[in-house]
Structure 1
Amino acid sequence: MTLLDLLASAPNLATDLLERTSSTLRVQEMVRLSLAPAFLLAAIGAVMNVMMSRLIWVAERIERLEMRMEEDRSPREITELQRLCRRRRLAQRAVMFSTAAALTICVVVALLFISAFITPKIGSLIALAWIATMGFLITGLVHFAMETIVAASGQRIFFGKNANKEDD
């Protein structure tokens, strides 16, 4: 059943919906309420851009290492490949959880607008969607922080070994 069929079968429903959505003040209030989630969505997008850049760099580095190491692998290359694979896993999870946060923010905005035009109160549903958003975002940011820690610890090991060789 399409929306048009539903509206045609219940003329009072169409009139009721039109009356509820005709309030400029109600629409303005929903737009105002949806601004904070919209700004959060923009921030998530910016952080995801950084995450994706790091993920792409790691994936390309893995590909280059694997092509170079087809025949014989040194212990250092194997260690680096393992560390890069761990970084890729963490970055992928960070992107996935951040994407889930972005999707649930969109659900929050949609629910805010829907709540203005329906009789049943769905404030609890909106609150749950907001809590889910924060849970996804926190998890994504923790994975991103872990990826940067793994990256920094690998650089410390690499530069520490090179510095010792130069001293010899």
Structure 2
Amino acid sequence: MPYSPEVMTIANAIQLSLSPVFMLAGIGALLNVLAGRLARVVDRARALEALHSGASGSEHERHVWELRLLDRRMAIVNRSLFLAVSSAVMTCAVVALLFVAVLLKLHIGQFVAIAFILAMLLLIASLISFMVEVRISLRAIVVRAELLR
């Protein structure tokens, strides 16, 4: 008779994979926020590009300054998205490794732990990158002194 794992073995594997699956849900929410921020930055850049050609003097300089800032923000959000997706892929690998280990009775706990640690490090890097982008975005919304008079 071919090997068939017990129901309790499968139930244990499912229990073990619950934490990484919740982490995937959180990463999905983060990806949604990052994609929204990227879309808003791109929209603002397109609007400024349209105004850029007709501007001159200090207004032109302000447009160039903001376009450079938006370009930097796009790069940072893209990096954050890449890191978050990489974290999600590693988290999926953790879940797959857990099931493979349980079903095949492999002792690969070290590999599972390393994959989970890597997923967490990638998520941390993504969150730090997101925090940097938020800080940079605050520079663009400073009200100019000439408008406050």
TM-score, L = length of structure 2: 0.91
1:45-64 maps to which residues of 2 (within 5 A)? Answer: 45-64=28-47
Is the 2:73–2:133 Cα contact (8 Å) retained in structure 1?
A: yes
Q: Identity of paired residues, percent?
A: 30
Q: Are residues 1:145 and 2:131 paired?
A: yes
**Aligned CA-pair RMSD:** 1.6
- Change in 2 beyond 3 A, CA 1:167/1:132: closer
- How many positions carry a matched residue from both structures? 146
Which of the residues 75, 93, 105 maps onto 1:89?
75
TM-score scaled by structure 1?
0.81
The structure that has the greater radius of gyration is 1
Q: Does 1:126 align with 2:112?
A: yes
For structure 2, the residue ranges without an aligned partner over 5 or more in a row are: none
Q: CA deviation at 1:121?
A: 1.1
CA deviation after TM superposition for structure 1 residue 70, in Å: 3.7
Could you tell me which runs of 5 or more consecutive residues in structure 1 were left unpaired when the two chains were aligned. Answer: 1-11
Deviations 1:58-96 (A, max 9, x none): 012112222332465610000000000111111011111
Structure with higher RCO (Cα < 8 A, 6+ apart):
2
For 1:30-69, list aligned pairs within 5 A.
Answer: 30-69=13-52
Distance 1:87 1:102 in 2: 22
Task: Give every structure 1 segment of 4 or more consecutive aligned residues whose post-TM-superposition deviation is greater than 4 Å.
Answer: none
Deviation string, structure 1 residues 7-55 (Cα, Å, up to 9, x no partner):
xxxxx8xx2xx33x2x100000010010000001001101111111000
